[in-house]
Amino acid sequence: MHSYVKTVFALSAAVFLSAALLASEHKEEGKHHWDYGQNGPVHWEEFSKTCGAGHAQSPINIIPGKTLSISHEYELHLDEDVHTTAEVIDNGHSIKVTPKVGGKLEFHGETFQLLQFHFHGKSEHTIDGKRYDLVVHMVHQNPLTQQLAVIAVFFEEGKNNPALDNIIGNIGRSIRMDPQDLLPSDTAHYYHYIGSLTTPPCTENVQWYLLKTPATASKDQIETFRKYYVDNERPVQEIFDRKIEAK
Ligand SMILES: [Zn+2]
């Protein structure tokens, strides 16, 4: 190619690219975002159809008397004891912690790695209609299939939890922590079912494990969390024909 032609070609490509970038920025500006207020849960299907049309959505209300006992292969093996650095951020919907090296969990012969965990100012799932004071969702992923598995740890008011102080006191910073410190003393009893992300895009086929034993947080800690987010919980969804298992 003649060098003049090459220059013209490169220039027009550059003009085309910046026009495309401008257009996409413009689009971004006009786009509204989901939230828990004006663009709250009843509007989420405008962001993702699955939020409105899905038949395996989360969270749900669990009725302990209507659960089945868990099949052996879906029993949970948790291994979150990892000392790691983690980034704590306020992402506009939740306080989110991303560990550099996550722990892992296993069931059905598959391994899921901890990607991040985040808090809701009240629990999203309810047990027999009871909503807990705070919940942490520990989001794991199977790197081979991309499937997600979420551990929900409920909190109720009680003893101060040092692991929470470390998180609340360091929003926007990097901390050293061990994800295991967020777990309650008993992790052997839980509910299990297949649901979805509880925020848009509400993607389904998420394996949910809700630990029956709550962890504790002091009144002060719960209030401090709620200064950031108190109403960031999606209402409970229809169960349809799903089976809820318990151990
Ligand atoms: Zn969540």
State in Å: Cα 78 to ligand 1 middle.
19
Report how far ligand 1's centroid is from the alpha carbon of 18 (Å).
37
> What strand order describes the sheet that includes 130-131?
61-62, 126-127, 130-131
User: Among 233, 246, 182, which Cα is nearest to 41's?
Assistant: 233
Q: Ligand 1 center to residue 195 CA distance, Å?
A: 12
Q: What is the pTM of this model?
A: 0.87
Residue 181's φ and ψ, nearest 5 degrees, are -65, -10
C-alpha of residue 158 to centroid of ligand 1, in Å: 22
Question: Ligand 1 mean position to 247 CA, how many Å?
Answer: 22
CA of 159 to the centre of ligand 1 (A): 23
Closest C-alpha to 59, from 188, 190, 152: 152
The predicted structure's pLDDT at residue 32? 78
CA of 13 to the centre of ligand 1 (A): 43
pLDDT (0 to 100) of residue 14? 47
Separation CA 233–CA 40 (nearest Å):
10
Report CA(240)–ligand 1 centroid distance (Å): 21
- Looking at 3.40.1280.10, 3.60.40.10, 3.10.200.10, 3.30.10.20, the CATH number of the domain 49-246 comes to 3.10.200.10
Q: Is 79 helix (H, G, I), strand (E, B) or coil?
A: strand
Q: Which of 92, 44, 17, 39 is nearest to 202 (CA)?
A: 44
Tens digits of pLDDT across the chain (247 residues): 455 545 444 545 444 444 444 444 333 444 679 999 999 999 999 999 999 999 999 999 999 999 999 999 999 999 999 999 999 999 999 999 999 999 999 999 999 999 999 999 999 999 999 999 999 999 999 999 999 999 999 999 999 999 999 999 999 999 999 999 999 999 999 999 999 999 999 999 999 999 999 999 999 999 999 999 989 999 999 999 999 999 9
What is the CA(98)–ligand 1 centre distance, in A? 14
3-state secondary structure (DSSP) of residue 187: coil
Nearest to 221 by CA among 121, 126, 89, 118: 121
| Ligand 1 midpoint to CA 115 (Å) | 13
Neighbours of 162 (CB within 10 A): 9
| DSSP states along 194-238 | EEE-SSTT--EEEEEEEESSPEEE-HHHHHHHHHH-SS--PPP--
> What is the Å distance from ligand 1's center to 117 Cα?
8
- 204-211 vs 148-157, strand pairing mode: parallel
Q: Tell how far the Cα of 119 is from the centroid of ligand 1, in angstroms.
A: 6
CA of 93 to the centre of ligand 1 (A): 9
Residue with tokens 């495309």: 20
Ligand 1 ion local residues (Cβ < 5 A)? 137
Residue 22 has a pLDDT of 40
Question: Is residue 163 within 8 Å of 134, Cβ to Cβ?
Answer: no
Q: Which two tokens stand for residue 64?
A: 């302990």
H helices, E strands: number in the chain: 4, 16
Sorted by where each begins, the domain ranges of the chain are 49-246
Tokens 């401090």 sit at which residue?
A: 224
Q: Is the dihedral of CA 35, 36, 39, 43 positive or negative?
A: positive
State the CB neighbour count (10 A cutoff) for residue 240.
10
